[in-house]
Structure 1
Amino acid sequence: MLKHYWNTAIRNLRRNKLFTIINVIGLSVSIAVFLALISYVKYQFSYDKFYPGGDKIYRIDYYEYQQGLPVLQSARTHDRTALLAASYVPQIEAVARVYNEKAFVFTEDVRLVDQNMLFADSSFFKVFDLKIISGSPDKALTPPNSVMISKSQAKVYFGDEEPVGKTLYFNEHLPFTVTGVFEDVPKNSSMDFDFLLSWSTMPFYGWVSKDGDFNAPWTFTFVKLRDHVADIAAINQALSRMAKEHITTLKKRGHTGRYELRPYESLHTLPGLSGEVKPSTSKTLLYALLSLAVFILVAAWINYINLSLARSIERADEIGVRKVFGASRTAISGQFILEAGILSFTTFLLGLGLYILFTGPLSDILFTHVTFSPTSTITWLLYLFAFVAGTTLIAFYPAHFMSRLKPALILKNKLGSGKGRAGLLHQGLMMFQLFLAVAIVGVTIIAGRQIAFMQQFDSGFNASATISLRAPASTNSDSLRYSRYTSFREDVLQLAAFTAGTASMNIPGEEIRYHDEDVHAVGSKNEKKQSFRIMWIDEGYQETFGMILTGGRNFRDREFGNTCIINETAARALGYANPADAVNTSILTSEHKPVTIVGIWKDYHHESLRKPVDPIIFYYHHPHEYGYYSFQVQSRQGDYLEALEKIWHKHYPNDQFIYYFMDRFFEEQYRSDELFGRLLNLFSVISITVASLGLFGMASLAMVKRTKEIGVRKVLGASVWNILVMLSSSYVKLIAFSCVFAFPLAYYLMYTWLQEFAYKITIQWWMIILPGVIVLAATLLTIAGQSIRAAMANPARSLCDQ
């Protein structure tokens, strides 16, 4: 009997090629997209979940306010915070300070720059339970000039030799002894590092105080709480009491400050603060992608239900004959469910193949810069079981509906018009599918406009013709660093390709490293104070990046010391309604040093449009470490890069030549938004395609059901146009009802998303109406062929066939 059911199911799937092809395409594409999105979202949510006891790890964040308004919201704290935290919060089991840097790390044979390193307390491993391959976690980071290294970098620098006891050199030839090796930190970490340097090294060289201070927040502080600690609010209050009692500069500035715990395992998906190591990912975006994955799969299942219900009239004779010969409802239902099982198993395998294709050979086209979570065989089997079970359950209603058909009515061709409960379900599911299509297209259009707005927005500086080089790390403490740079710049500017050059601590597209919360204008009554970003530059910055001077002058050559340039936002923050009025006035810094403002630059967007323009103070100061050397390029054509590299190695033979095209560097900030837009475009097409496939199949079957009606109408004088309008009107009504619900949803979702941007588009009426027009056009084009064919058919043949 089972073999008979199996053969019958295969025969029915082959016989009804239109039904089978539509469902195979719809379900396989949908499962491929579903798997890709689930894998991507799963990877994003897996960030920082790999440390044992990670749910007890927290980062202490620092917030500073004036009159209740935020002045600073920082992921970093003062370096003395860690030393006092446990005395205020006995629930703390362990605490560790961390300071991140990019370093030039080398031996006699291997020289690599931009290596991820951390200065870390000796208690680091009590907070972060890394797997130690060699060395003592309790003692390895205690002595000054000690370093622990990751397994992969130990292989890079020392090959198969034992690394413990060997020497690595950092930046300006500082020697560090390798005291241990740890397992590589996974890529899905908010804090990348391959080298852990002992914190004691910094006070040993006099870079910081041994006991720390509360002057400025510059280091990360991580704590691990004891078991069963639940009252985080009470801990935050205790930490804030510590801030009030020890940050003495707050009262002087008229500010208030507080500390707050942030769960380490949530760093990647919570809104980012100033000083983050990596940009966070929007949780809203991840949930939106997850919803899209489910919606597209549901749309394919809706296709299956609708086509199965629509095919009931075609299979009515089969069902009637089977019932006359004694087939039970269970047997008939089982036949249809078996067909659904075969179809779902086949489409899952096809979908899995498409997923492998999407995320493998075609990943650079569809999912550029996307990392997917690795999936185990057991997980794949669970996905297969869930999909087959889900599709089979979905098929239960059509099977149940068809098994209830009465043989007498079937054989007398009196099944009715389909306006009962099945008909309502049929219409409701179609409307829901169209609702999803309209909503997704609406979201895509608005997101696309915002992304295009960001890409085309005038950021206020010249990015298209600028190249930036990573400044040499080997000369960080070299007293001749500045003179070496000026010689290098002079040689570069001898090349016809370059017109201007500058050295700066940061470049546009990168968060400005330093800030000062105690800046105010000398003699000003302005009481509003806030965090001013501090940039170190030279006189070439204005010409190289195309800064627009709105008042005063540029720096003069080698104008070190008591002058600065500020942007318009900084002038307003100092209390000047007209920014130009700030020229030749003075400010006092946190060091109580008077500095004269010699120029005002027009505001430019140093970072993405998600953030408002910060008040920035520019000092003439050559970066003592890292930084960038940037040059304006007349044209990207020619071999100027090769010539630039030769000059680099002439002046900096010990440093790698690393360069960035500024326009690409700046656009990296929008990578996640561009990915979101690209995925939305892809899913809009898939959503409309899946909906159109279902409508095509349903329209084909509907024409079969209405053949006699169309013939009668034509005999009574209806024109082809009348028939087309009649056949299309029901679909137009469904789309109209779908739009009523889809338009508000799309508007709400995108209005919420746009609030993440300081500069954004305004949602206009056409952005809401256009998705409905697009889906309507796609629907009418989909059913046009069947409608025209039915309208132009010979009525005599239609009536005779009936």
Structure 2
Amino acid sequence: MLKHYWITAIRNLMRSKLFTSINVVGLSVSIALFMALTGYVAYQFSYDTFYKDAERIYRIDYYEYQQGQPVLQSSRTHDRAALLAGEYLPQIEAVTRVYNEKAYVFTEDVRIVDQDMLFVDSSFFKVFDVKIISGSADNSLIPPKAVMISQSQAKVYFGDADPVGKTIYFNERLPFTITGVFEDIPANSSIDYDFLLSWSTMPFYGWVSKDGDFSFPWTFTFVKLREHATDIAAINNELSRMAAEHIRSLKDRGHTGRYELRPYLDLHTSTTLAGEIKPGINKTVLYALISLAVFILVAAWINYINLSLARSLERADEIGVRKVFGASRLTISGQFVLEACILSVVTFCIGFGLYHLFTGPLSQLLFTNITFASISVTSWLLYAAAFVAGTTLIAFYPANFISKYKPVMILKNKLGTGKGKANVLHQGLMVFQMFLAVAIVGITFIAGRQIKFMHEFDSGFSAGQTISLRAPASTNSDSLRYTRFTSFREEVLQLAAFKSGSASMNIPGQEIRFHDEGIHAVGSENEKKQSFWIMWVDEGYQETFGMTLLGGRNFNSQESGKGNACVINETAARALGYKTPTDAVNTTILTSDNKPVTIVGVWKDYHHESVRKPVEPVIFYHRHPHEYGYYSFNVQSREGNYLAALEEIWRRHYPNDQFIYHFMDRFFEEQYRADELFGKLLSVFSIISISVASLGLFGMASLAMVKRTKEIGVRKVLGASVVNIVLLLCKNYIRLIAISCVFAFPVIYYLTNRWLQDFAYKITISWWMIVLPGAIVLTAALLTIATQTIRAATANPTRSLKEQ
């Protein structure tokens, strides 16, 4: 008997090629995209989970306010905070300070720039459970000039030899002794590092105080709480008490400050603060992607239900004959459920292949080569079981509905009036499916407009013709560093391809490294104080990046390193209390250490970072970056091999440093990579959503035409034109799409408006942006239906009436 059911189920699926093909395509593509997106989201949520007791690790963040308004929200703290935290909080099991840098790391044989390194306390391994391959977790990072190296980098620098005890050099040939090797940190880490340098090195060289201070927040502080320390609010209160008692500059500035714990496991998906090591990802975006993945799968399941209900009349005779010969409802339902089970197994296998295609050869095209969480055999089996079970379960309703047919009604052809609960559900599911399609297309359209707006937004500086070189690290402590740069720049500017050059600590598209909360104008009545970002630039910055001077003058070369003159931007002028930019020229400001500085010029605001952020007040000092930084040049002609000529000059001046460059327009647009990825994923979903909905409409329209063949024939005989018949057949679908738009339009506006709140500069949502997606989906639906309706409307009525 079971064998008979299997054979019958396979025959039915093979006989109904249109029904089977639509469901196979829709379900297989949907499950493939569902697995791909859940894999991507799972990878994003897996960040930092590889550490033991990661749920007990927290980062201390710092917030500073004036009159309740934030002037600084930083992921970094004062370096002395870590030394006092234990006195205030017995709940702390371990604490460590972390300071990150990109370093030039080399031996006599291997030289690599931009290596990820951290200065850390010797207690680092008590907070972060890193697997030690050689060396001691307790003692290896105690002495000055000690470094532990990752396993992969040990192989890069020393091959198969034991690196422990060997010397490796950093930046300006600072020697460090390797005291241990640790296992590589996974890529899904909020902090990347291949080298751990002992914190004691910094006071040894006199870079920082041994006991730390509360002058300004510049280092990360991580703590590991004891197992039963769960009252985070009480801990935050104690941390804030510590801030109030020890940050003496707060009182001088009329500010308040507080420290607050942030779970380490939330770093990658929480709100980004100033000074983050790596950019995170918006948790709302991840939830949106998961929701869209579920919607696509649900849409495919809705197709299955609708097509199954629509096919019910096609199989009415079969059911009637079975019932006459004694088949029970359970037997008939079982037949349809078995068909659904077979179909779901086949589609999952196809979807499995498509998943590997999407995440493999097509990942660059579809997903910008993003990383997906690896899926174990157990997970695959769970995916398969859930999908097959889900598809089988949703088949119960159409199976149950079909099995209710009474033999006498079937054989007398009394079915298919198009009324009743089944038809209401049928149309309701169709409305929901079209609602999803319209909503996804609408969200995609508005997100695409915002992304286009970001790319075309006038950032206020010249990026298209600017190239930036990573400044040399080998001369960090060289007293002649600035002199060497000016010689290098002069030789470069002798080339016809280059117009101007500048050295700066940071370049547009990169967060400014330093800030000062204590700056105020001398004699100003403005009581508002806030964090001013500090940029180190030279006299070439204005011309190289196309700054617009609104008042005063540019720097001159004689002001280099003296720190008694500055240029500010418009926002800084307003923050200091000046009504116009020219009012600020030749006035004096005091820094946090009460040093007087004269404002010699005001530049027009430009967007140093993405349009997600408002323009911040920036103070520019003429100071050459003492570590790394960038050397930028404005290119006036790209003819000839100008890059090779630039590299040749570089190697003459900086033979120990690699030639690394960025085209500024590409570097600046890197900030929008996450938004572009989101937009690209939405575009893929829109196409799939419309395709799945269209497949369902095509199938239902085909079956509807079969059911209404006689009606169409009668209408043609009575004089109805092809246009009248097409409008009649499409009228119901247009009504359903209109209903779906009524529900979709408010959802589109609400969700996109919420998403746009994350941008300081954004598009305005107009009514046509919301209505257009409905028109697009309506057009796609009508084009899909038109092929079947026109075919039915132009058919010979005598043949259709004769066949009936």
Fold conserved (TM > 0.5)?
A: yes
Q: Distance in 2 between matches of 1:350 and 1:705?
A: 32
Hey, what does 2:783 align to over in structure 1? 781
Q: Residue by residue, what CA displacement relative to the aligned partner does 1:718-766 show, whole Å, maximum 9, x if unpaired?
A: 2222211111111111111101111111111110000000001111000
Query: What is the match of residue 654 of structure 1?
Result: 656
**Residue 20 (structure 2) aligns with:** 20
Shift in Å, 1:644: 1.0
> Is 2:119–2:197's contact at 8 Å kept on the other side of the alignment?
yes
Deviations 1:269-307 (A, max 9, x none): 001000000111000100000000000000000001100
Match of 2:717 in 1: 715
**3-state SS in 2 of match to 1:275:** coil
User: Could you say which residue in structure 1 is the equivalent of 2:420?
Assistant: 420
* Equivalent position of 2:291 in the other structure: 291
Question: Counterparts in 2 of 1:512-523, with a 5 A limit?
Answer: 512-523=512-523
Matches within 5 A, 1:1-150: 1-150=1-150
Instruction: Give the whole-Å Cα distance in 2 for the aligned partners of 1:637 and 1:673.
Output: 34
**How far off its partner does 1:714 sit?**
2.2
Q: TM-score, normalised by structure 1?
A: 0.99
* AA in 1 matched with 2:501: G
1:414-472 CA deviation, whole Å, 9 max, x = no partner?
A: 11413111111100100000000000011011101100000000000000000000000
Q: Structure 1 stretch 710-719 or stretch 679-688: which is displaced more?
A: 710-719
Aligned AA (1:259): Y
Deviation at 1:506, TM superposition (A): 0.1
Corresponding residue SS for 1:140: coil
Gaps of 5+ in 1: none
Q: Tell me the alpha carbon deviations over residues 459-492 of structure 1, each in whole angstroms, 9 at most, x when there is no partner.
A: 0000000000000000000111111111111111
Q: Alpha-carbon deviation of 1:711?
A: 1.9
- Output the CA distance in 2 between the equivalents of 1:610 and 1:557: 35
Residues 463-542 of structure 1: pairs in structure 2 closer than 5 A = 463-542=463-542
Identity of matched residues, %? 77
Deviation string 1:69-105 (CA, Å, 9 cap, x unpaired) is: 0000000000000001111111111100000000010
1:431 equivalent in structure 2: 431
Is contact 2:496-2:637 (8 Å) kept? no
Moved more, 355-364 or 194-203: 355-364
1:105–1:171 CA contact under 8 A, matched in 2: yes
The separation in 1 between residues aligned to 2:392 and 2:759, in whole angstroms, is 44
Contact 1:558–1:620 (Cα < 8 Å) also in 2: no
Quote how far apart the aligned CAs of 1:713 are. Answer: 2.1
Work out the CA distance in 1 between the residues paired with 2:416 and 2:486.
90
The whole-number CA distance in structure 2 between the counterparts of 1:168 and 1:317 is 84
Partner residue in 1 for 2:596:
594
Mapped to 2, the partners of 1:494 and 1:360 lie a distance apart of 48
Greater displacement, 434-443 / 702-711: 702-711
1:636 deviates by 3.4
Alignment match, 1:269: 269
What pairs up with 1:190-339 in 2 under 5 angstroms? 190-339=190-339
Secondary structure (helix, strand or coil) at the match of 2:557 reads: coil
Match of 1:569 among 571, 589, 592: 571
Equivalent residue for 1:629?
631
- Per-residue deviation at 1:58? 0.3
**Where do 1:358-369 residues align within 5 Å?**
358-369=358-369
Give the Cα separation in 1 of the matches to 2:201 and 2:246.
25
Contact 2:520 2:576 in 1 (8 A): yes
3-state SS of paired residue (1:757): coil
* Paired letter, 1:779: A
Q: CA deviation at 1:638?
A: 2.8
d(CA) in 2 for partners of 1:743 and 1:706?
Answer: 33
Q: Which sits farther off after the overlay, 350-359 or 188-197?
A: 350-359
* Contact 1:538 1:558 (8 Å CA) reproduced: no
RMSD: 0.9
State the SS of the aligned residue for 2:634.
strand
Equivalent residues of 1:106, 1:168 under 8 A apart: yes
Q: State how far apart, in whole Å, the 2-side matches of 1:172 and 1:558 are.
A: 26
1:537 deviates by 0.6
- 2-structure distance, mates of 1:356, 1:638: 44
Instruction: Write the distance in 1 (CA, Å) between the matches of 2:354 and 2:650.
Output: 47
Q: Distance in 2 between matches of 1:333 and 1:636?
A: 72
Instruction: Give the aligned partner of residue 705 of structure 2.
Output: 703
Provide the secondary structure at the position in 2 that maps to 1:501: strand
Distance 1:667 1:799 in 2: 65
CA distance in 2, matches of 1:411, 1:695: 28
Shift of residue 712, structure 1, vs aligned partner: 2.1
Q: Distance in 1 between matches of 2:229 and 2:93?
A: 11
Between Structure 1 and Structure 2, how many residues are aligned?
802
Secondary structure of the corresponding residue to residue 196 of structure 2? strand
Q: 1:339 Cα deviation (Å)?
A: 1.1
Q: Distance in 2 between matches of 1:435 and 1:569?
A: 45
Q: Structure 1's 102 and 256: CA in aligned 2 closer, same or farther, altered over 3 A?
A: same
Distance 1:199 1:246 in 2: 22
* Corresponding residue of 1:765: 767
SS of 2:327's equivalent in the other structure is coil
Measured in 2, the distance between the counterparts of 1:443 and 1:61 equals 34
The secondary structure found in structure 1 opposite 2:26 is: helix
What is the alpha-carbon distance in structure 2 between the residues aligned to residue 558 and residue 677 of structure 1?
49
- CA shift, 1:333, in A, is 1.3
1:372 is aligned to 372
Once the two structures are TM-superposed, the CA of residue 525 in structure 1 deviates from its matched residue by 1.1
Cα distance per residue 1:224-266 (max 9 Å; x no partner): 0001222101110000000000000001000000000000000
After the TM superposition, which of the residue ranges 368-377 and 163-172 deviates more from structure 2? Answer: 368-377
Residues 150 and 195, structure 2, Cα contact 8 Å, conserved in 1: yes
Structure 2 counterpart of 1:740, from 729, 738, 742 = 742
SS at structure 1 position matched to 2:530: coil
Structure 1 residue aligned with 2:381 = 381
Alignment correspondent of 1:174: 174
Q: TM-score, normalised by structure 2?
A: 0.99
Aligned partners of 2:313 and 2:416 also within 8 Å: no
Q: 3-state SS of the aligned residue for 2:149?
A: strand
CA contact (8 A) 2:31 2:297 kept: yes
Is the 2:504–2:624 Cα contact (8 Å) retained in structure 1?
Answer: yes
Comparing 150-159 and 786-795, the one that deviates more: 786-795
In 2, the alpha carbon distance for the partners of 1:637 and 1:677 equals 35
What is the CA deviation profile of residues 364-386 of structure 1, one whole-angstrom value per residue up to 9, with x for unaligned ones? 11111411111111111111111
Deviations 1:592-623 (A, max 9, x none): 11111111100000000010001001000000
Unaligned runs of 5+ in 2: none
Paired residues of 1:502 and 1:539 also in contact (CA < 8 A): yes
Contact 1:118–1:197, Cα closer than 8 Å, also in 2: yes
Equivalent position of 2:615 in the other structure: 613
- Give the whole-Å Cα distance in 2 for the aligned partners of 1:126 and 1:707: 77
Q: Which moved more, 1:281-290 or 1:549-558?
A: 549-558
Question: Deviation at 1:627?
Answer: 0.1
> What is the alpha-carbon distance in structure 2 between the residues aligned to residue 409 and residue 710 of structure 1?
23
Distance 2:437 2:521 in 1: 56
SS of equivalent residue, structure 2 residue 430 = helix
Structure 1 window deviating more from structure 2 (792-801 vs 548-557): it is 792-801
For residue 716 of structure 1, report the CA deviation from its aligned partner.
2.6
AA paired with 1:680? Answer: L
Measure how far apart 1:637 and its partner are.
4.0
What amino acid does structure 1 have at the position aligned with 2:757?
Q
Tell me, what secondary structure is at the counterpart of 1:558? helix
TM-fit CA distance, 1:640: 1.1
Task: Give, in angstroms, the shift of residue 635 of structure 1.
Answer: 3.2
Question: Following the alignment from structure 2 to structure 1, what is the Cα–Cα distance between the partners of residues 795 and 380?
Answer: 49
